[in-house]
Every structure is written in C-alpha cells, then in structure tokens.
Amino acid sequence: MAVVFQKPKSLADIPLHYCPGCPHGIIHRLVAEVLDELGIEGKAIGVAPVGCAVMAYDYFNCDMIEAAHGRAPAVATGIKRCRPENIVFTYQGDGDLASIGMAETVHAAARNENITVIFVNNAIYGMTGGQMAPTSLPGQVTQTSPYGRDVNHCGWPIKVCEMLSTLEGPEFIARVAANNVKNVNQAKKAIKKAFQNQIEGKGFSLVEVVSACPTNWGMTPQQALKWVESDMLPYYPIGVYKDRTAAKEAAK
C-alpha cells in the first residue's frame, strides 16, 4: 500500500502535549518538513523556549537545547559561533521573544547572527494560564488585563516584524499565519526561505507565525481561527517586511 501521508522524519513519533485546536502542532510540522526537504536534520540544532513550546526539545528529532526564558537567541548565538557549519534555529513564543527576550532578539538581529528564528505569536501567555502578552491586542481581556488591555496603562502591542525591519542587521523578516490552508502553505515557504538563507550564510532570518490559543482565548478552535482572521491579521498584516537579497537584486 502506498503511503500518502506520514510524519516528517524530523518530528518525533510521540503525542504532542498541546491543547486541542492549538496550531503549534502545525507549525512544528512545517519546521520539520523544511528540515527534511533541505536535508539538514542531521546538522540542525534547535533551541526551545520557555512557554507552551518548552517541550519542543522532545518533538524535534534533531539535537535540541532548552534555554532560559527569552534567552534562546543568545544561546543560539553561542552555538552558531562555535559550530558555524550547523543549522541553528530557535522556536519561541510572544512572551519569550518579545517580552523578556526582546534584548536578545534585537541584538541577535542587529548582529545579523546567521540563525533562523521561528516566532509564534498568539497574543497571550499560554503555559502560565492566559496572561497579557506583549502582542495582546488593545482591549484584549486576559488574566492580567481583566478589564481589557488599556494601552494608556500598559502600552501598545509590539509589532516585531515592523520593528526589526528598521534595523540594518537582519537578512529576512516575514510574517505569516497558520489559520487556513493557503496561509499555512505560504508559511512553509517563508520558513523554508529562512533556513535556506542560513545555509547560504546570509544571516538572521525571522518568521513570525500568527497563531491561535483557543484555550486561553476562551474560544472553540474554529472561533479562534476566525478571530485570527478578523482581529489578529488586521493588526499584524502578513507579508515580507525585509529581504535584503531580494532588495539588492531589485536594485540592480
């Protein structure tokens, strides 16, 4: 019998702990498919964050390390500078990357570290039970913004791609989404490019994947995907925010 669908080699054959309807499983799969297709599973070293994806070290079959909260880009820098021949990536959430780890993120980008960053933005802290994230939308109700995020009190959401694309440093900054088939396919292309860039030595590539958290948003998975479309994507538009190589070629 012909096998028409199977797990990528780079993804371990064990159940993921994610809640029903959580897109982390899809995004893990995209990363794993890309590792397979580029034939880099054996060279890849992944850095897991603190947050819902903390146990990603069990899920990817490549070598993995668990970083302290927010420090994944620094840990990845250490690895890449020692082993430039390896493919080093981080997989981080919004609290990890855009709150406690913002300094590490910005400076890794500014140094154009030749690493790949997968940034999953679901506008909330999942693992700790639904607190306000740096990317929570204005008015969004969370455990620590019980009256809705008041931008006059705790500031505005951070648009990571827009911000990082102002830096000279990074090679490639793109935002994608994991809410429907079309967007998932597009997300995979961006992730593949982010790894391809590293293979070619081009430098820091970050792909932000706009995702959903049905559990902590208090929605069904279907409602959550709709909310991504209706509320998240208008605030966090999909697109390529920086592509140095493409820009250079266009300028020729």
Report the residue from 147, 230, 249, 250 that binds another protein according to the rule CB under 8 A: 147
Q: Is 223 in the site for another protein (CB under 8 A)?
A: no
Number of residues forming the site for another protein (CB under 8 A): 33
Q: Is 68 in the site for another protein (CB under 8 A)?
A: yes
Q: Is 46 in the site for another protein (CB under 8 A)?
A: no
Is 115 in a helix, a strand, or coil?
Answer: coil
Instruction: Rank residues 143 and 185 by Cβ distance to another protein and give the closer one.
Output: 143
CB of 65 to another protein, least distance (A): 12
CB of 163 to another protein, least distance (A): 14
Phi, psi of 197 (to 5 degrees): -60, -40
d(CA 35, CA 10): 7
Cβ(154)–Cβ(219) under 8 Å?
no
CA distances (Å), 251 to each of 112, 243, 248, in order?
Answer: 21, 12, 5
Residues 117-136 binding another protein (CB under 8 A) are 125-132, 134
Report the residue from 7, 9, 43, 69 that binds another protein according to the rule CB under 8 A: 69
Report the residue from 154, 166, 218, 220 that binds another protein according to the rule CB under 8 A: 154
Pattern 173-202, another protein, x by CB under 8 A: ------------------------------
The tokens describing 231, both together, are 């509320």
Cβ(35)–Cβ(86) under 8 Å?
no
Using the contact rule CB under 8 A, the part of the chain among 141-149, 164-172, 176-184, 228-236 near another protein is 141-149
Report the residue from 194, 215, 225, 242 that binds another protein according to the rule CB under 8 A: 215
Q: Is 65 in the site for another protein (CB under 8 A)?
A: no
CB atoms within 10 A of CB 101: 25
Is 155 in a helix, a strand, or coil?
Answer: coil
Is 205 in a helix, a strand, or coil?
Answer: strand
CB of 9 to another protein, least distance (A): 27
Q: Is 216 in the site for another protein (CB under 8 A)?
A: yes
The tokens describing 238, both together, are 């999909």
d(CA 69, CA 191): 23
